[in-house]
Structure 1
Amino acid sequence: MGYIISLGVGFGIGLLYWLLKVQSPAPPLIALAGLLGMVLGEHAIPVVKAQFFAQTQTVQVAVQVAEQMKEGSSHNDNG
């Protein structure tokens, strides 16, 4: 479905360019490089988010363990 939407949007932009009588903004090779950058950027965001949330969860677990250890040592000192 995504390919059909992409094709339709591209076709619509092509029609808009034709109506405004402007040429494509970039030579084909540069346009393909731009598309590659878009694809890489699209896939980089989930990777970065996964790394960020993995580190956040690790920090949260470490804090919880430290708190439990602190509580455990304070109970042993009072006992």
Structure 2
Amino acid sequence: MKPYLISLAVGLLVGIIYSLLGVRSPAPPAIALIGLLGMLVGEQVVPIAKRLASGQEMAVFLRKDCAEHILGRPIDQPRDDA
């Protein structure tokens, strides 16, 4: 959680600096970011449907693979395949 808060804090600081300098952020508008989130979630629909159809375990898959794909791997957590 700490890396996400640091990222948010740095983003806020940069936004304040941009505002003081009177320039607009090159970042896409919020609607584009929501679209990107939809793409990340949508990529998981087919793997979830395949697992449901084959009767495989869902909880671990959702917690580990889907969450890591959508939210990113926590910085302080080593990968299993490393």
Higher relative contact order (CA 8 A, sep 6+): 2
Q: Structure 1-normalised TM-score?
A: 0.36
Q: Structure 2-normalised TM-score?
A: 0.35
